Amino acid sequence: MVVLPVKIDSNATFETGAVRQVSSELENGLITAGVEIVDRSLATKLGDEILAYEATGQFSGAGIDVADVAILPAIHNVGIAKSFTPASNYTDDDGKRHYTPAKCDYEATVTGNVKLFELPDLKETEAINMKGTASTSLSISNSSCPVSQDIAYSLASQASGNSVYNILSEIQKNFSQSGYVMQYRKRGDLHLVNITLGASQKLKEGQKIIFATKLSQPDYTTGKNTVSTVYYDFKGVVSDMIDANNAWVIVDEEAEGQLKKGDIAQTDFEKSFWDDITKGGNLADNIKNSFQ
């Protein structure tokens, strides 16, 4: 896998922090998925080739053999909106005065996309749009709400990181790894499953695992049997017992009697609602954004 340098559109401002954060979030997310990332120095040359290919439809093939998949992130726009709220005061029913200082609200929005290319053919396999926001408030009496370089850089970085986070599971699912169920054990109330994925596949404690089985059913239109993959309703989480090529996964008790040797075990990167609203540490802001 090669993560190419971030492509910047001409109308993107405050992009320095955004570029750095997009690259960092992508690389960290792919490493979490067990993907081996090519050195950045090799990525630059390949990035130039892909940009030239997008513009002309031709490429020399230089650097194409360094990886089997390339990811090209692009930032289309980085904007910061601002609004001013003047100071206010009021007296409550008990005669107590309350004062609220003037403030400026700032919100950064980053938009772009991420394209996946299959190498060496340079075939575009997927394009995913991304959008992220970040906000802050400062006690300022200046109604013009000046945007300092520090504020712009910080908000652009946070918003770009959130834009990648919002689509990261869609990217990671392209690199989901599959193994098989080998054993089922119970330790008191603990239900454990041994699977054929381990440290060699970059499996880590806490990784979510989904399970499936293969079902063969007759197709009366063709007279042949068709094999379909059916996923179970339960999931598992990788424990701290990880060897080179196998690991023990903690599963719900409902898995007992359903999972069997040979069933499919697959890494899963789907985010939960709680993952979404706690991203970035600003719970209230993320709850608000989750309904937009």
CATH T-level assignment (fold) for domain 178-268: Thrombin, subunit H (2.40.10)
Domain boundaries, the chain: 2-175, 178-268
Tokens of 247: 């690991």
* Distance set, CA 11 to CA 25, 54, 67, 79, 262 (Å): 22, 19, 31, 9, 53
Contact 246, 184 (CB under 8 A): no
pLDDT band at 19 (very low <50, low <70, confident <90, very high): confident
25 vs 17, more confident: 25
Long-range contacts of 46-51 (CB under 8 A, 24+ apart): 46/2, 46/4, 46/70, 47/4, 47/5, 47/72, 49/122, 50/4, 50/117, 50/122, 51/7
Asked if pLDDT for residue 284 goes beyond 50, the answer is no
Tokens of 109: 């929005």
Asked if pLDDT for residue 67 goes beyond 80, the answer is no
Q: Which residues contact 220 (CB under 8 A, 6 or more apart)?
A: none
**What span, in angstroms and rounded, lies between the C-alpha atoms of 269 and 71?**
18
**What span, in angstroms and rounded, lies between the C-alpha atoms of 151 and 137?**
10
Per-residue pLDDT, 270: 87
Neighbours of 79 (CB within 10 A): 15
Per-residue pLDDT, 224: 85
CATH class as words, domain 2-175: alpha beta
Contact 27, 36 (CB under 8 A): no
* Distance set, CA 121 to CA 47, 64, 117, 272 (Å): 14, 8, 8, 35
pLDDT in tens, 175-228: 999 999 999 999 888 999 999 999 999 999 999 999 999 988 888 888 788 888
**What span, in angstroms and rounded, lies between the C-alpha atoms of 24 and 26?**
6
243 vs 225, more confident: 243
pLDDT in tens, 94-153: 999 999 999 999 999 999 999 998 887 788 899 999 999 999 999 999 999 999 989 999
Contact 189, 196 (CB under 8 A): no
Per-residue pLDDT, 221: 81
Per-residue pLDDT, 112: 94
Helix (H, G, I), strand (E, B) or coil at 27: helix
pLDDT in tens, 259-283: 999 999 999 998 765 566 556 444 4
Long-range contacts of 185-193 (CB under 8 A, 24+ apart): 185/248, 186/256, 189/253, 190/250, 191/250, 191/251, 191/252, 191/253, 191/255, 191/256, 192/239, 192/248, 192/249, 192/250, 192/251, 193/236, 193/248, 193/249, 193/251, 193/255, 193/259, 193/265
Equal CATH topology for 2-175 and 178-268: no
Per-residue pLDDT, 14: 63
The residues facing 82 across adjacent strands are 106
Per-residue pLDDT, 204: 92
- Amino acid residing at 240: D
pTM: 0.77
Per-residue pLDDT, 288: 44
User: What average pLDDT does the structure give for the chain?
Assistant: 86
Per-residue pLDDT, 291: 40
- Amino acid residing at 48: D
Q: Which of 23-27, 62-66, 216-220 has the lowest mean pLDDT?
A: 62-66
**What span, in angstroms and rounded, lies between the C-alpha atoms of 9 and 236?**
42
